[in-house]
Structure 1
Amino acid sequence: ITAALAALTGELYFYPFGTNFRFTVGVITLSFLVLYFFHIPEIVLILFSGLGIVIFRILLSCIVRKSTFLVAFNLHYPAFFFYLAYGIFLKAGKVKTLLKAPVNFIAVMTLADIGANFIELAVRHEMNLIYFQEVFNSVLGVGLIRSIITLSLYWLIERYRLLILREEHEKRYAELIELLSELKAEFFYIQKSSKDLEDAMREGYQIYQSLALGITDSEVISLKKKALNLARDIHEIKKDYLRILAGVKELLPEERGGMKLTAVLEIIKSNTQRLIKTLGKDVELIIQTVPDLVVINYFSMFSILNNLVSNALDAIEEERGIVKIKVSLDNDSVVISVFDNGKGIDVKDLPYIFEPGFSTKYDKNGLISTGLGMVNVKNLIEDMKGRISVVAAHAKGTKFEIYLPLKNNFTILQEDKHEFSFDDSR
């Protein structure tokens, strides 16, 4: 492409000395392309372009001017030495590093142009010392003009590119502001209903406890009132959340196509880093996984891992701690383990940790947590046809192990077959 562009624009030329030596616009084109294709070495680009230009000129002379090949070759081959020298001079002058220093850039480009022209003149045996001053002035003037035009053209293209990027950035920024304003409106309803939801869960659990322990006839009336209040609160919450669901559904992408497990874990890592900072703890997060897994139900995976990692951080009460997530393959299953070296769980409590309402956590007001996080985790895992188990000892840490079938939950990318791990130290 560069050779074609330079060759075509190279047909805009003039003969300054009444000989076969000529100045062309193609040098400007080639110089600009050297700057535009920044990562291609100057010598490589100019060498191949120069070769293409010479071949094009020879063919043009043979076809259009009916010259013999030998005549056309002798006429045009010296131009190749111009491009060869030009590329060497630009490389030696490190011209690509001088774009922010226009005076130095123009000086190097002009000197490269002058040097390459004199080398071509020498190959053509047209170095006439009698007219050297006139030749030098012409070569200097053309080299200076071509250098200035090259830099100006590059700046114009760069300014246009930056203008397009700025317009695109402003457009995306406006879209982001609009998105955030819409999300803010939806979160107003989330904040409004959060207290109602907390009260409804607590009241529902109280009804559950009363029914589990058995009730007297005199308590039936009180339970009826509680049940009615619960139904009313849930109905109010339902209205708010239906509205939120409708609004957020338009803003967020649907879960389709799956997500690489490594990407899911990177997000978990980022969320955990923020949570560790908020809690003011010194916790090392270690993640080991296999990179060739794609999670189909990745929203569920986020919820499962976020709950388990959050519980692991809560369990760490010492100054320093470790949370480790490990993913491995076991025949037709994916095994995910989440380990922490926190306070652990009493053996007597193990049978109840997946029961609604069971919790060992208390909020800042001394109220016990709703205990629905682990219930949600278990339900999500069972919905994926999997199972979860726990191994824990008091003051020695806790390890949850999740077994999920590969089928219908994951797909395997064939290009990667090695283990992948990354860890984050605080």
Structure 2
Amino acid sequence: MNPFDSPFRVSLGSAVFVLGLVAFSSLPPLVIGASTGAVVVGFRVFLDVLTGETSTSESLWIHLPAAGYYISFAAMAAMVHFRRQMAAPIRAGVMGAALDFLANGCELAIRYGMGESFPFSGHMLVVLSLFAILRSFCVIGVYNMWMTKHVRSLAEARKEELERLMMVNSGLYEEMVYLQKSMALMEDMTRQSYDLYSRLVEGKPVEPRIALDLAEHIHETKKDMQRIFAGLSKLIGRQSGRGRIPIAELCAMVIRANEKYASLSGKAITFSYHGQIDLATDQLYPLLSVLNNLVSNAVEAIRKNGAVELRARLEGNGLVIEVEDDGPGISADDIAWIFQPGFTTKYDRRGNPSTGIGLTHARDISQALGGHLQLVKSEPGQTVFRFVVPTSRLLEAQTDAFQNEHPPVPPQGAHLV
């Protein structure tokens, strides 16, 4: 509209500009104002040239003051922090109307200074005020409708996420019950297996029923583990496929698992890994078994606060991984016995001894891989275990027979030396 029968015009296009000024909060207001002013002037000049009504220079002279509206509005909006007022719609509408009125006044002042004449009257002020109010509250209305829709979308998304988390939590609680049952069953099986081993070593008669009971318990545990794995896979939403894994990532897995174990035990332990090794392996389960035994033993040895460090390096044709902790160390009398089956210095709260086969199991896995496990140093404040395995074995594909013979050992403390 041309309310004063002159090149000065008002339109709802300015409302779109104000909406963009609010929506694109990442851009400075003056950048938006100057860009919009340049585009508006260029478009109007293009239309005049296209219709052939005026020359390019004359059209540019006529429409150049229009950029003053957008630049002045943006400058004033930046000064009063107009974007922050959008949380209060009425106040933002009034402030927007005032800025619109003043910006129109700036454009009229520019045009007046360039020689255009306007009939300044109360009617002109009323027209400018009405258009300012109309455009400002139009912007506020559209903005709030958009925000309302956005908030509703977020609320729906959060509701769906909350429902999903509740289902996950319910599923995890169910799996935890089965896992606790399996842990208790495996602890009993470990003790029964060691008792069977002791009787066989001593040449004492063994009832066949004992072996059958163990087989039944193992079968039940296997079924529980399958059910737990299926349940967790469904909750996570993907099947976990095992392939080659870098040594650094494997050590990180061990550290993450034992960080949770230490936290659950009420201990403040700092874990670290040092090693620059470009080596990946299929031997995930046996390596996890050995490292989890060593690191969880270190966690159990530390009383309250301490540190556990994993170091990996290539030495000759072998991979060397050392696990060091700053716990109290192993007494000199016990060092010669730590790899013997059944030897333990740990007891639970009820006074029951651990089965003492954790380090024996880790040593056997090391030897099965063609390597070895040894205690390098143990004194108060420093205990170091060294695990060495040939790199040629790490590059081999892990066979199912080996997996079945040496399953992964989780970081549990009840059955580790």
TM-score range for the pair, normalised by the shorter chain length: 0.7 to 0.9
Q: What do the CA deviations read for 1:146-177 (whole angstroms, capped 9, x no partner)? A: 22222222221111111112212222222222
**Take 1:65 and 1:267, find their aligned partners in 2: how far apart are those partners?**
78
Query: Would the aligned equivalents of 2:254 and 2:291 in 1 still touch at CA under 8 Å?
Result: no
Structure 1 counterpart of 2:122: 133
**Cα deviation, residue 230, structure 1:** 1.4
Determine which of 213, 216, 219 is the counterpart of 1:232: 216
Q: For residue 131 of structure 1, give the secondary structure of its aligned residue in structure 2.
A: coil
**Cα deviation, residue 401, structure 1:** 4.7
Query: Would the aligned equivalents of 1:110 and 1:144 in 2 still touch at CA under 8 Å?
Result: yes
Determine which of 359, 364, 387 is the counterpart of 2:344: 359
Instruction: Tell me the TM-score normalised to structure 2 length.
Output: 0.76
1:190 and 2:176 aligned: no
Map 1:230-379 onto structure 2 (within 5 A).
230-252=214-236, 253-255=238-240, 265=252, 268=255, 272=259, 275-276=261-262, 278-281=264-267, 283-287=268-272, 307-317=293-303, 321-326=305-310, 337-347=322-332, 349-350=334-335, 353=338, 357-374=342-359
Query: Would the aligned equivalents of 2:4 and 2:118 in 1 still touch at CA under 8 Å?
Result: no
Q: Which amino acid aligns with 2:29?
A: E
Q: Which amino acid aligns with 1:310?
A: S
Query: Would the aligned equivalents of 2:298 and 2:308 in 1 still touch at CA under 8 Å?
Result: no
Structure 2 counterpart of 1:58: 45
**Cα deviation, residue 391, structure 1:** 3.1
**Take 1:26 and 1:260, find their aligned partners in 2: how far apart are those partners?**
62
**Cα deviation, residue 90, structure 1:** 0.8
**Cα deviation, residue 143, structure 1:** 1.8
Structure 1 counterpart of 2:169: 180
Q: 1:152 to 1:250 in 2, by over 3 A?
A: same
Determine which of 56, 59, 66 is the counterpart of 1:69: 56
1:211 and 2:200 aligned: yes
**Cα deviation, residue 276, structure 1:** 4.9
**Take 1:135 and 1:72, find their aligned partners in 2: how far apart are those partners?**
25
Map 1:385-404 onto structure 2 (within 5 A).
389-401=374-386
**Cα deviation, residue 121, structure 1:** 0.9
Q: For residue 124 of structure 1, give the secondary structure of its aligned residue in structure 2.
A: helix
CA RMSD in angstroms comes to 3.9
Q: Which moved more, 1:237-246 or 1:165-174?
A: 237-246
**Take 2:283 and 2:102, find their aligned partners in 1: how far apart are those partners?**
63
Query: Would the aligned equivalents of 1:264 and 1:298 in 2 still touch at CA under 8 Å?
Result: no
Q: For residue 164 of structure 1, give the secondary structure of its aligned residue in structure 2.
A: helix
Structure 1 counterpart of 2:408: none
**Take 2:276 and 2:135, find their aligned partners in 1: how far apart are those partners?**
53
Contiguous gaps of at least 5 residues in structure 1: 1-13, 410-426
Instruction: Tell me the TM-score normalised to structure 1 length.
Output: 0.75
Q: Which amino acid aligns with 2:351?
A: G
Identity of aligned residues (%): 26
Query: Would the aligned equivalents of 1:321 and 1:340 in 2 still touch at CA under 8 Å?
Result: no
**Cα deviation, residue 109, structure 1:** 2.1
**Cα deviation, residue 92, structure 1:** 0.6
Query: Would the aligned equivalents of 1:42 and 1:87 in 2 still touch at CA under 8 Å?
Result: yes
Query: Would the aligned equivalents of 1:345 and 1:397 in 2 still touch at CA under 8 Å?
Result: no
**Take 1:228 and 1:385, find their aligned partners in 2: how far apart are those partners?**
32
1:35 and 2:22 aligned: yes
**Take 1:76 and 1:48, find their aligned partners in 2: how far apart are those partners?**
15
Determine which of 124, 128, 152 is the counterpart of 2:141: 152
**Take 2:251 and 2:128, find their aligned partners in 1: how far apart are those partners?**
62
Structure 2 counterpart of 1:108: 95
**Cα deviation, residue 94, structure 1:** 0.8
Query: Would the aligned equivalents of 2:309 and 2:324 in 1 still touch at CA under 8 Å?
Result: yes
**Cα deviation, residue 340, structure 1:** 2.2
Q: Which amino acid aligns with 2:218?
A: I
Contiguous gaps of at least 5 residues in structure 2: 397-417
Q: 1:232 to 1:270 in 2, by over 3 A?
A: closer
Structure 2 counterpart of 1:19: 6
Q: Which amino acid aligns with 1:108?
A: M
**Take 1:47 and 1:162, find their aligned partners in 2: how far apart are those partners?**
31
* Number of matched pairs: 387
**Cα deviation, residue 296, structure 1:** 7.7
Q: 1:375 to 1:230 in 2, by over 3 A?
A: same
**Cα deviation, residue 314, structure 1:** 1.8
Q: Which amino acid aligns with 2:88?
A: A
**Take 1:155 and 1:263, find their aligned partners in 2: how far apart are those partners?**
51
Q: What do the CA deviations read for 1:58-93 (whole angstroms, capped 9, x no partner)? A: 222222455421232122211111111111111111
1:164 and 2:150 aligned: no
Query: Would the aligned equivalents of 2:37 and 2:71 in 1 still touch at CA under 8 Å?
Result: yes
1:122 and 2:106 aligned: no
Query: Would the aligned equivalents of 1:95 and 1:105 in 2 still touch at CA under 8 Å?
Result: yes
**Take 2:266 and 2:98, find their aligned partners in 1: how far apart are those partners?**
62
Q: For residue 118 of structure 1, give the secondary structure of its aligned residue in structure 2.
A: helix
**Take 2:49 and 2:367, find their aligned partners in 1: how far apart are those partners?**
79
